[in-house]
Structure 1
Amino acid sequence: MQPPSACPCRGGIPWQGILLAVSLLTFWNPHPTAQLTIEPVPFDAAEGTDVLLLVHNASQNIIGYNWFKGETADGRHEIISYVVSTQVSTPGPAFSGREKIYSNGSLLIQNVTQNDTGFYALQTITANIRVELATGEFRVHEKLPKPNIIINNSQPMEGEDSLALTCEPEINYATYLWKINNQMILDGDRLKLFNNNRTLTLFNVTRNDTGPYECEIQNPVSANRSDPLTLNISYGPDAPIINPPDSHFRLGTNLNLSCHADSNPPAQYSWFFNGRPLESTQELSILNLSTNNSGSYVCVAHNPVTNLNRTTTKNITISESLTPPHLTASNTTVAEGESVQLTCIPNDTEISIQWLFNNNTLQLTDTMQLSLNNSILTINSVKKMDEGEYHCQVSNQVFSEKSNPITLTVIAGPDRDNNINQPLSPGAIAGIVIGVLAGVGLIAGLGYFLFFRKTGGSGPL
């Protein structure tokens, strides 16, 4: 950091005795047009690096430079002085051994520490006893350490507690940033930043606030980020869910129920059957089911930290196998227009009855009617389209059984047969003969007219 044509110098200064007189002359000596200034290079420096206090607009006939720690020319805080003519520098009370002054008055401070942060004053003296004073400032920043996050509650509970996260350590001139899931955190309704953003407060924490969280510290020369922190928020249990969702099972099979509730820490589970305690496990197994196993099963989920309990009830029915129903018909051969009744006779209770036509679900028409819990199908005014194979089917939540088939045959009705076989009456025959003769005469007359018109002849009068 040595400026061009400038040499670092140290040594004694013989003219220090006249400094008081020179200082008094400062009040009446005019200043040059270009004002003396100091430029710190750099303004923000990392600890252990060098800083150059570069002098600008110094007068041409300067005979000496004096550097001070602070904003005034206080001899108690003098760092170094320099005589231009002899190129000799003399250390002052504030000299640390790390300072070098150049022939142009610039001051190099090596291996800076945070104690070097602050203002520096330069006093120049010209040959005509004119004194100028300029100040400059720089800041020294430490290389930032890896921060860590401190929390005030290691196991907050959802909906009850608030939580404060603090980024440590506290560092001057540092900026603090917070992230959750790699997204920047800003002030909100429940998330607030305090203490120069060092502290992040979460009000009324929820299970969705687990994170992970990171804090980052920055200064002008470095940056560092903490390890991610995931919060352990206690919540739940939520209402348990019992699987499988089925509630009807076959007689003689095995029952395997599992219970799960969203909870932190994980819930503890227990089972009850018709109010009687069973096992304290998450899964319940019952082998070779009988009808005695039908009833109310309750799963209880308990959170040992929140001390909350939630329950879910499942009613289970164990069903025996069904026997096929018996289907009868009032008649299996029916004339069109007549009625027929089909009756389904089940052998079981607590069942539902459906009807099948040609192995498909029967679509009821206007002439069909179901009665007695769907066990009787009545077809009024049977049509040819009603001919086919009929079944009834009984079902419960587990089983279904189909009856014997009945085939319904539909024949032509008596009115239609009479109309086909009855002989014509004499009046009808006479009408037919007269109609035929009239048609023949009309055709003959039309042919005669067209013939004479074509030959140009005239017909008989």
Structure 2
Amino acid sequence: MEVSALLFCQGCAPWQGLLLTVSLLACWHLSTTSEVTIELVPPQVVEGEDVLFLVRNLPENLTAFVWSKGRTNRKRGIALYTVASDIHVHSDRETLYSNGSLMIHNVTQKDRNYYTLRTFNKHAETVSTTSTFLHVNLFLWNCGRFVTSSQPSIESLPSIVAEGQQVILHVHNIPENLQGFAWFKGMTVFRHLEIGRYIIGRNSSVFGPAYSGREKLYSDGSLLIENVTQKDAGLYTLRVLGTDMKSEEAHVEIQVADSPFQCCNPTTSSKLMVEAVPRYAAEGESVLLLVHNLPEELISFTWYNSMYRVPTFKIVEYHVIWNITTWGDAYRGRDTVYASGSLLLQNVTEEDARMYTLETLNVNYTVQRARVQFYVNKPVTQPFVLITDTTVNVHRSVTFTCVTPDIGISILWFFNSRNLQPTERMTLSPTKCGLRIDNVRSEDAGEYRCVVTNRAGDAKASQPVRWP
């Protein structure tokens, strides 16, 4: 239950003046500070749990601080503390602490919102304003990654697409706490470049200014483009948003050949293109970044191990006229560059699997660029399945978790040795590592197993587990 500014004033004569100021929230001048931070403990909360908004670096010499629900509606106060009188005002579901922290007990979906902490000095002036978002989960997948070094990655299928065909930009390593995502045409996330966004909770897509009518968004983050044209060639950016309101970005390049035949034989095209051979490599192997259609009358070409063309990412620059090779900061000591423009990367590791950019400069000072990605796979390890039984409001649920240390994999579920066909009572986590069945029935009894497969096709199955 929310506590209004009027409720604060009842029976509290020593600080009525302050609360009168609190009721005039529309007159406050809002300022922000980078010092005050709010940490959610736990960072992911489930319905029925308690959550602590832990405040750090509270400003000194404060007169009062106020917690409110929302970011802009300052009249939805839920808790107040005055320093001079050591008075706490909050409802039965909140506990307020003198260090600024706030505890909300037994959270529900109605508590899902932004929460804002404002602090004031003796002149009733705002010292700091800090907000954070509380997402309340129905349950948590314990097989996913909430904090990990493994960033989302995107694979163009096929790597070179012909005009008139379709391409799918397939996403790997998407976070389990996914709230939504958006696709952009280009390497930036400007509004006018937005193709569309997908909201997981609503299971719906909203298309943006860059939508052509040929794109389709999937709930796993992937983007399908049909009837591809030359205008579709170039960089694409995916931004994913977690329930903790943290975002991550990934990029991919679409290479478009001129005809259906040239995607299979890029040498028949006039466009500068790069092909990774092999596209899926094992650790320790060599990968050749094979260049097709290198422009004539070149002055030089340069390789970068990033989509950004800055000195830090420069591998090598080759001056064609003078036959001079200059290695850059990103040179690994085991690379070979050829006059044809191709680059050989030897003894590759997982860290080498990224986007590479080739930039050429001819005698007319015309610049062309092409980008390529490849993937380095370790042999997959055998997964195993964990089972968690829960009962909420008399309804029984069961969660199966496919536990694996591998990333960049696909996961399939099997029930009684058959590929599992989901029903309306079943929920799969974004990466399909978790399978939840609600309101379980007798027909759900049987053997369950999961199969993990990497990009190179290496697959392993878990031992079957029987439930119940």
TM-score by length of 1: 0.39
Structure with a larger share of its residues in helix? 1
TM-score by length of 2: 0.38
Structure with a larger share of its residues in strand? 2
